Chains A and B, each alone.
Chain A
Amino acid sequence: MKKHLFIISALIIVLSLVTACAGQPAAEPAPAGEQPAAAFKAGLLAPGPVNDGGWNQTAYEALKRMETDLGAEIGYVEVEMSPAAFEKAFRDFADQGYQFILGHGNEFTDAAVAVAPDYPNTFFFLSSSRFYDPSVPNVIGLNSDSSQPCYAFGYIAAKMGTGAGLIGGMEIPPISESFTGFINGAHAVNPDFPVQVTYLGNWTDTASAKEASISYIDGGANFLLGNADFAGNGVYQAMLEKNVYGFGMFGDNTEKAPQQILANYILDYGAGLVHLADAVKDGTFKPTSNIEFGLVDDDVIYIVYNEGAATPVPQELRDEVAALYSKISSGEIDTLAPVE
């Protein structure tokens, strides 16, 4: 009997809690309290933790940028990595009047296309996507072409090094395309330059990433490039410990291996997104194609050399790389040419 009493009292607690919660609508007080009327809202669906120091963090920082630059009200969600979750997350944002929603990866395409017709006043952006379809005009693919800066990295590696190891989390376009660019760049210098790709099969195993890096170093490589979110930290650590060269991905990672990182590829997604968001906010955004960011958008995608490296990239090589930029931008060099 006692047990039943316990259960009943527990149930009462649940119910009261539930009603108490329900009676308290989640409508948050608008942050900063600036825009009184319908504030501009920007949302993000991140496929992984936004503190990963890589791909997801890039998007999160872009979102923050919209908050500071445009006074946008922002929200983000690290969706469960299952297609079942994507549509709901899009709808949850759209239902709350978000006008700008970024699905940070091609995997969100199906869900965005399914949801978009119901919310004609909301723009659904997709990272790592070349999606454009006039029949769903409010879904726009945004591709930040990582193969371009990585082509430059490959070029530098082949000029300065003995071999390179590329360590990826899983084989998805933001990863594999950056590697393709790297390999093409290296092979442009020397078709026989040893460069290989390792996939870890996850995004979290820093230890395996480090071990994979060491494998390359033992095999004679002295350049590393990691593109594996969290696990990428293991690659930086291998650079530091084994004192080999490497590059930082998506942001300034210099401090993780101050002497070894020769250059960082900065993806300032915010710079690219803010003016899009601004146009969406003003109602002037009328896309007629998908959007590509490349080296030509030099505020979005660029390379910063590390002057503090033990052996900084020499000036003449930097000049060569700079000369590559225009060829890449003009299409004379195809950084995504298939590698075999």
Chain B
Amino acid sequence: MDFVSIKKRLLKFSRSAWTPFAAIPIALGIGAIVLLIAGYNPLQAYAAMWQGAFKDRTAITEVLIKATPLIFIGAGLAVAFRCSIWNIGAEGQFYAGAVAATAVGIYLGDLPRFLLVPLVLIAGASSGALWGMLAAFLKNRFGANEVVTTIMLNYIAIFITGWLVTGPMIETAGLFAQTAKISQNAWLWRFLPPTRLHTGFILAVVVALVLYIIIFKTSLGYTIRAVGINPEAARYAGINVKRKVLLAMAISGGAAGLGGAVEVAAISYRLYQLISPGYGFDGIAVSLLVNNNPLGVIFSGILFGALRSGAEVMQMNAKVPSVLVFLIQGLVVLSVVAFGVYSYVSKEKEE
């Protein structure tokens, strides 16, 4: 690889990674207008937001903690979307992972740490992968559109979780709709005390990196993308399309499930009815924001994490309803698009 092409690649990468950040002022600007109209002081609001996200080391680590599930989910979705599988079901896959991880963390709690932690993560990933593969199976075998099946499977996963935490898996006291705490041996290491930053974040970055390599640097990834661009042509070229679909959903669901496992093993230590506030849907935007590039997902995940984290302090200190953050997130996505720095279609052609 000669220097020019390296430079080109770097530029290309920095372009896709930084676009979301460049789009922030536009989104914040429009947000400011809305704030003004509603009678708030935008500068004060944004100052509070900034404080909330970045004021010190703890705040920054909290941003990374919030970003962690988004990175897992977004990186996985990037693979599915590259295969043109519209997986709207990351939310359900996240739940599936959280449930399995909790079960292992509780019922195999006596295992030593070096065994239990990997088991918890594997359980989460495989449970999420299976939930994702179910949609792929229905698509392959019955031609059931994945948009429909994954939406339905979301609800089903959430209701099953609700049943488990109010029924079979409820904590022994049986009072509250939550499971017992998972065994301490299943906890992920918080390596930067007193902050809560945990190894799950590192894992998320690694997963994103690995998925990036798989998608862009291996022949497997090439075939997945080929199916995504044109399944008919891919079939002609001798690619087993159904298998790629199954695989893409397994990867996508597995990553989301791993995210669920990490959320339980590193943060909540137990399962609740609502373990996710909608990470699966945010993850869609997180992935699409960076043109379904798993590496870019690290950045967009952190961006969304920062917005969320900041929004809460904005409400605390500037009394601005935190729900505004949804608007800003949506505007960030639209601004990225409006920048026209890349266009999905031209990008597809490039490849």
Contacts and interface: CB of A to CB of B under 8 A. Distances in A.
Contact of A77 (B43, B49, B316): B316
Interface in B1-22: 15, 18-19, 21-22
Contacts of A82: 263, 268, 274-277, 279
A298 interface: no
Interface in B259-274: 263, 267-270, 272-274
Contacts of A103: none
Contacts of B269: 110
B164 interface: no
The B interface is mostly helix, strand or loop, or mixed, namely: helix
Interface residues of B, number: 61
Contacts of A96: 316-317
Contacts of A173: 175-177
A201 B159 contact: yes
A317 to B, nearest CB: 32
B162 A170 contact: yes
Contacts of B321: 78
A30 interface: no
A11 to B, nearest CB: 6
Contact of B272 (A76, A107, A118): A107
Interface string B173-207: 00111100100000000000010100000000000
B28 interface: yes
A324 B309 CA distance: 48
Interface string A71-96: 00001111111111101110111001
Most buried by A among B19, B23, B28, B176: B176
A249 to B, nearest CB: 19
Contact of B268 (A10, A84, A88, A106): A84
Contacts of B85: none
A199 to B, nearest CB: 9
B268 A78 contact: no
Given A10-B25, A85-B277, 14 more contacts: A10-B23, A14-B22, A17-B25, A22-B50, A26-B51, A77-B315, A82-B279, A84-B263, A88-B62, A92-B316, A110-B181, A110-B269, A172-B177, A201-B158
Interface of A: 3, 6-7, 10-11, 13-14, 17-18, 20-22, 24-26, 28, 43, 49, 75-85, 87-89, 91-93, 96, 106-107, 110, 118, 170-173, 201
27 contacts: A7-B339, A17-B46, A21-B46, A21-B50, A26-B47, A26-B50, A26-B317, A75-B319, A77-B313, A78-B315, A78-B321, A81-B274, A82-B275, A82-B279, A83-B268, A84-B65, A84-B263, A85-B312, A88-B62, A88-B65, A89-B312, A91-B58, A92-B52, A106-B175, A170-B162, A171-B166, A201-B159
